[in-house]
Amino acid sequence: MQEFDYNENPVLKAVVDKSSSFKELVVNYVGEQHKPENDEVTVEMVVTTMLNEFPEFLFAIAEENFIRGYQQALSDVESSEKAELEDLETLQAEFVEEEDTLNE
């Protein structure tokens, strides 16, 4: 079994197909910019070109992704705290019940 490298995103190495007219336009443009030896344009090449020529587009996506990730993290913390509080209440109730049984 191959170990996953968290520092590498395999999607970036994927070759982009020309399955739509927009993709064909992008692949052709990026290909002209990067001139890959094998004539295959990767997602990473597209991202690099977008970063150099249309950074506002990537920044908008990155910002949205960051905000959604941050909101998800806050939601996860809230859910975790709620679950821990419920566990604590259950343990406390069990302790009181056990203490009552011992005092009888």
The answer to whether residues 66 and 92 belong to one domain is: yes
The answer to whether residues 98 and 73 belong to one domain is: yes
The answer to whether residues 24 and 42 belong to one domain is: yes
pLDDT (tens digit, 0 to 9) for every residue of the chain, 104 residues total? 667 677 788 899 999 999 999 999 999 999 999 999 999 999 999 999 999 999 999 999 999 999 999 999 999 999 999 999 998 888 888 888 777 777 76
The answer to whether residues 1 and 43 belong to one domain is: yes
The answer to whether residues 6 and 24 belong to one domain is: yes
Max Cα-Cα span within the chain:
86
- The amino acid present at 81, given as its one-letter code, is E
In whole angstroms, what is the distance from residue 1 CA to residue 31 CA? 34
The number of folded domains in the chain is: 2
Enclosing domain of residue 6: 1-53
Predicted TM-score (pTM) above 0.95: no
